[in-house]
Amino acid sequence: MPQIKIGSLTLGPRPLIAVPLTDMDVSSVETLQTADIAELRVDMFSDLHLPHIIDIFKTFKNKFPDVPVIATCRSKEEGGAAAITDALRVEIFTHIIDLTDAVDIEVESDISAEISTLTSKHSKTLITSYHNFSQTPDEKKLEEVYEQGRQIGARIVKIAVTPNNMTDIKRLTEFTLNHRPVVTISMGAMGMASRIFLPLVGSLFTFASLETVTAPGQMSIVEVRKFYQAF
């Protein structure tokens, strides 16, 4: 498998931790503790005007120049905090593309191909994502999501789903073992342990909260790092 990077950070040799941040977090935090990657959740920003968004990305780069950044502006349909039009999302990504290291776009979004072209043009890492807050799809659907992301040009395919039983967790674990390069997450209380063990079997990184919890079952970075130090 070709080497996967976000900025200068190479993914794969060890489990990595990404922390999601809002604009308020970027303004207030003075340390990212032991985070490897930051995800700036634009859909959770308090102000969605372009000058403010650009300023937040510049502020982050100035405060934490060595931490690679994923830009995410999640659609409302897949868990976004605000209803943002696709046209505005394209405009946002276009204006911050040189201030980020990777872009996360929903694989089933109407703008996924356009964002793929944008990231390719600027030599940024493309992450295609799929979120399901009610269930864990069957093997066929998981495979379709993976193949669709790869066809679009994703360097990383991210799949975040909700387990309703232990069979669901087993299915996602088996999928993780058999596919590269992926980020897989089993959300909610039942899937909480997966945020630790899936990166140990192939998921490139996990998400942990620093200030703001952005998904069901998300643990704090202190808790997650404690487990990885033990391993």
Average pLDDT in the chain: 94
Instruction: Count how many Cα atoms sit within 13 Å of the Cα of residue 164 in the half-sphere of its side chain.
Output: 7
Residue 4 lies in a domain: no
Looking at residues 50-68, what average pLDDT do you find? 98
pTM tops 0.75: yes
Domain holding 147, by residue range, is 14-223
Residue 46 lies in a domain: yes
More confident position, 209 or 175: 175
- For residue 18, give the CATH number of its domain: 3.20.20.70
Residue 162 lies in a domain: yes
Looking at residues 206-231, what average pLDDT do you find? 78
- The catalytic site residues sit at 131, 158
Question: What span, in angstroms and rounded, lies between the C-alpha atoms of 84 and 81?
Answer: 9
Residue 126 lies in a domain: yes
Residue 198 main-chain phi, psi, to 5 deg? -60, -40
Question: What span, in angstroms and rounded, lies between the C-alpha atoms of 18 and 69?
Answer: 9
Residue 230 lies in a domain: no
Residue 225: pLDDT band with limits 50, 70, 90: confident
Residue 5 lies in a domain: no
Residue 157 lies in a domain: yes
Q: Determine contact, residues 119/125, Cβ cutoff 8 Å.
A: yes
Instruction: Please give the pLDDT value at position 171.
Output: 98
Residue 174 lies in a domain: yes
Residue 140: pLDDT band with limits 50, 70, 90: very high
Q: Tell me how far CA of residue 157 lies from CA of 16, 121, 160, 207, 226, in angstroms.
A: 16, 19, 10, 15, 26
How many domains does the structure of the chain reveal? 1
